[in-house]
Amino acid sequence: MSRKEALEQLKNPPYPIEQQMEDREYVIKKLGINNSEFDKIMQTPEVPHLFYESDLDRKLLIKLFHLFFSVYLRIIAYPLGIISRPVEI
């Protein structure tokens, strides 16, 4: 597909409008809300992931794992030959 063809295709809706409306009604029904509540939810501003504490906890856990793993490598794995040191270029 050429760039020009791709740009033309992007002008079309991602999938048929009828299917979009059916999906919208399905979601509204499953959430047990009405159209105005759904519209209000869809118009609220986006919230970055860092806003949620659970995401911060995950980042902290990743940092702690990285710290402990680097200590493990330096104190145990490299000296005992469990893992060979990477070659610096």
What is the model's pLDDT at position 48? 81
Tell me what the pLDDT averaged over the chain comes to: 88
Q: Is 21 left (phi over 0), alpha (psi -120 to 50) or beta?
A: alpha
Q: Give the mean model confidence (pLDDT) for residues 70-85.
A: 86
For residue 88, is pLDDT > 80? no
What is the model's pLDDT at position 38? 95
What is the model's pLDDT at position 81? 85
Query: Can you spell out the DSSP letters for the chain?
Result: --HHHHHHHHTS-SS-HHHHHHHHHHHHHHHT--HHHHHHHHHSPP--GGGSHHHHHHHHHHHHHHHHHHHHIIIIIHHHTSSPPPPP-
- 33-68 pLDDT tens trace: 999 999 999 999 998 876 777 666 777 888 889 999
- Tell me the domain boundaries of the chain: 1-44, 48-89
To the question of pTM greater than 0.85 for the whole model, the response is no
What is the model's pLDDT at position 87? 79
